[in-house]
Amino acid sequence: MFTPPASNTEKDFLMLHLRELPYFRSLVRAVEARFYQDLPLPAPTLDIGCGDGHFAGVAFERPLEAGIDPWFAPLREAQQRKAYRLLLQAEGAKLPFADGFFASAVSNSVLEHIPQVEAVLAEIWRVLQEGAPFYFCVPNHQFLAALSVGRFFDRVKLPSLSNAYRAFFNRISRHHHCDPPEVWQARLEQNGFELLEWWHYFSPSALAVVEWGHYFGLPSLILKKLTGRWILTPTAWNLALPKWIVQQHYQAEPRTPEGVYTFYIAKKTSRG
């Protein structure tokens, strides 16, 4: 396991996310945004599963050269944010780019949602240059066990309810993969990548904020459906309470062996 150096950046990624996203989603993305600050990202860069472009607009200092996503609605939002030079509606398993076009690639909390992820890895390998870095993060094998409601049912000896709850939360999270590093290493190596470094991050207590945020954040979801915005008034006074809820987890050391997410650094190698 690799422990990366702490970033020297002064950018407040937490507040930048809180202005536009629900507090629980902001916490995860703000923690992840810090990781990229010390990593080389040579151009051109491809973002696989770019979504609405908010993360890229906050995490990266330059507009990325290309972003792809299978859904049109978030791409329209991404276009307004100008976080990419090119946006295309495309499947990860069918990338509309020439072989060896990109010098780097990122995929932030996306690959866990793709059932046939091996086909996507093969396509990413195809469009990357030799030796190009590929950065991605996903929930790991500790995610489901760390869910607070599931742990409560474990303590009161109700395994059937515990299992049912974890299956429910995994379903609403649209997770197809919550795997340990050795599984991802095998996938990467089978598709022409070398795994260079990885680390677990995001403690179980931080996950509890995200877990309960799914339920307490229902008003934000209604607001998004009605207005197209998660946060109607992104002022300091309106964001004071959500910032207070998540600030301690953002300031805490995010890298921990008990972390429920894993960040990976891989590079393209030649297939033997």
Distance CA 160, CA 61 (A): 47
Q: How far is CA 53 from CA 28, 69, 219, in A?
A: 16, 10, 23
Q: Is 1 inside any structural domain?
A: no
Q: Is 3 inside any structural domain?
A: no
Distance CA 117, CA 177 (A): 9
Closest CA to 142 of 164, 175, 118, 120: 175
Number of domains in the chain: 1
- Residue 229 φ/ψ, nearest 5 degrees: -130, 140
* Residue reference for tokens 């607001």: 223
pLDDT at residue 223 in the model: 59
Q: Is 132 inside any structural domain?
A: yes
Three-class SS state of 177? coil
Q: Is 103 inside any structural domain?
A: yes
Structural domain boundaries enclosing 79: 13-268
Which residues does residue 264 pair with via DSSP β-bridges, in sequence order?
136, 198
Q: Is 61 inside any structural domain?
A: yes
Q: Is 135 inside any structural domain?
A: yes
Distance CA 63, CA 56 (A): 8
Q: Is 8 inside any structural domain?
A: no
Question: What's the pTM value of the predicted model, to 2 decimals?
Answer: 0.90
pLDDT at residue 196 in the model: 98
* Residue reference for tokens 């995610």: 143
pLDDT in tens, the chain (272 residues): 444 444 444 689 999 988 888 888 899 999 999 999 999 999 999 999 999 999 999 999 999 999 999 999 999 999 999 999 999 999 999 999 999 999 999 999 999 999 999 999 999 999 999 999 999 999 999 999 999 999 999 999 999 999 999 999 999 999 999 999 999 999 999 999 999 999 999 999 999 999 998 787 666 656 556 667 646 676 776 678 778 888 999 999 889 999 999 999 999 998 65
Q: Give the CATH number of the domain where residue 232 resides.
A: 3.40.50.150
pLDDT at residue 8 in the model: 43
pLDDT at residue 220 in the model: 65
Q: Is 7 inside any structural domain?
A: no
